[in-house]
Amino acid sequence: MKLTGIELRRVEIPLVSPFRTSFGTQHTRELGLLRVRTEQTDGYGELVTMAAPVYSAEYTDGALAALRDHLIPLLAQAAAKTRGGRTGLDPWAVAPALAPIKGHRMAKAALETAVLDAWLRERSLSMAEWLGATRDKVPAGVSVGIMDSVPQLLDAVGGYLDEGYLRIKLKIEPGWDVAPVRAVRERFGDDVLLQVDANTAYTLADAPLLARLDPFDLLLIEQPLEEEDIRGHAELAKRIKTPVCLDESIVSARAAADAIALGACAVVNIKPGRVGGYLESRRIHDVCVANGVPVWCGGMLETGLGRAANVALAALPGFTLPGDTSASDRYYRTDITEPFVLKDGHLEVPREPGLGRTPIPELLDAVTGTKEWIAL
């Protein structure tokens, strides 16, 4: 596969409603989109960074600069090399080509995904087929942000359950944890699949407080401590009954294997952008399956492009818990692709070639701030 150029876009899409977590409130989703042009087709990748480095060290301006100044030139060099008398590129060559640049996993993931999308389209293969998906639809969960009041939270959760979502995730932080969880359980009962996400907002000293969540029979508590505090998570897991799930801490298959071996987690959240792409996501899935650890697919408020790839990933056999693969209208009134629609609590797995979704030009242009073309 020969590359001829790459387009970088910066887009900004208004959210249906503000989304608040322990690290801030989002009113719009600002992200980057990549389009890889080959001699035969285009491939797309979504850059899931946030505007500021609050979820991770990466942020949109920095990621676009890393792509433009470092990663794309390295990819171009790799694509130009002759192997066996042929020049070109395949998805497995992307990560090794970009390895000289440390970190920047989200930027690398976007570039690898765009190459993968083009490669699959040229071969009329779907992402789901290529990954080894075993299901035609996946159960959908929804992430509920921190609210101004408990009654407001109950109204929101009730609305999502009425829509058919099969799992509720509540964002929590100090001062907004036990009371909202108790209120949701009391209002909607014990049969609702319920979990919480702290986004690193607590310390090990908060273990007695977090243990107060144990009676509510939660599926898991996600990333309660700082991302580098693996020992702290292992100790916390001994002090509470709620299963500990790691998100920000899991940046690779090696990190997942280490965390599992140390007893730091009983569940793993896989976000392809966070770990460097879908090839590494598949490796993490395989490590977790080998160790009997369930996984689920996290979300970064993706557009239809990223959502399509995540749904395909979530159809792998090790994804035994509903993920944050919600319908498009959970976040966007108008997506940039054909929307994903919730049907009986599930999303259908795309079976079209590549990611299974392509941007609709007029919708994409309407939310594009800047774009640039880099010829290769």
Tell me the per-residue pLDDT of 87-137, one tens digit each, with 9 for 90 and over: 578 999 999 999 999 999 999 999 999 999 999 999 999 999 999 999 999
pLDDT at 23: 78
How much of the chain, in percent, has pLDDT values that exceed 70? 98
Question: What structural domains does the chain harbor?
Answer: 3-124+358-375 (3.30.390.10), 128-348 (3.20.20.120)
Is the pLDDT confidence value at 86 over 80? no
- H/E segment holding residue 239: helix 230-239
Confidence category of residue 29, pLDDT binned at 50, 70, 90: very high
Pairing of strands 346-348, 137-139: antiparallel
- Which tens digits make up the pLDDT trace of 198-251? 999 999 999 999 999 999 999 999 999 999 999 999 999 999 999 999 999 999
171 assigned to active site: yes
Is the pLDDT confidence value at 83 over 70? no
Name residues whose C-beta falls within 8 Å of residue 234's C-beta, 6 or more positions apart in sequence: 262, 263, 264
SS3 of 263, please?
coil
pLDDT at 73: 96
Query: Taking every pair of C-alpha atoms in the chain, what is the biggest distance, in angstroms?
Result: 67
Average pLDDT over residues 143-165: 96
- Which tens digits make up the pLDDT trace of 328-341? 999 999 999 999 99
Is the pLDDT confidence value at 82 over 70? no
Confidence category of residue 81, pLDDT binned at 50, 70, 90: confident
* Whether 50 contacts 59, CB under 8 Å: yes
Pairing of strands 82-83, 86-87: antiparallel
Identify the active-site residue in 137, 171, 241, 343: 171
- Retrieve residue 192's tokens: 């609702």
- Which tens digits make up the pLDDT trace of 245-293? 999 999 999 999 999 999 999 999 999 999 999 999 999 999 999 999 9
Burial class of 293 by CB neighbour count within 10 A (0 to 12, 13 to 18, 19+): buried
pLDDT at 89: 84
- H/E segment holding residue 375: strand 368-375
Helix segments in 50-196, DSSP class H:
60-66, 72-80, 94-98, 105-122, 127-131, 150-163, 178-188
* Whether 185 contacts 221, CB under 8 Å: no
Q: How far is CA 297 from CA 235, 279, 320, in A?
A: 25, 14, 10
How much of the chain, in percent, has pLDDT values that exceed 90? 91
Q: How far is CA 234 from CA 104, 211, 274, 278, in A?
A: 27, 14, 21, 27
Average pLDDT over residues 177-197: 97
- H/E segment holding residue 32: strand 24-38
pLDDT at 310: 97
Average pLDDT over residues 303-316: 97
271 assigned to active site: yes
Is the pLDDT confidence value at 84 over 60? no
Identify the active-site residue in 2, 238, 241, 271: 271
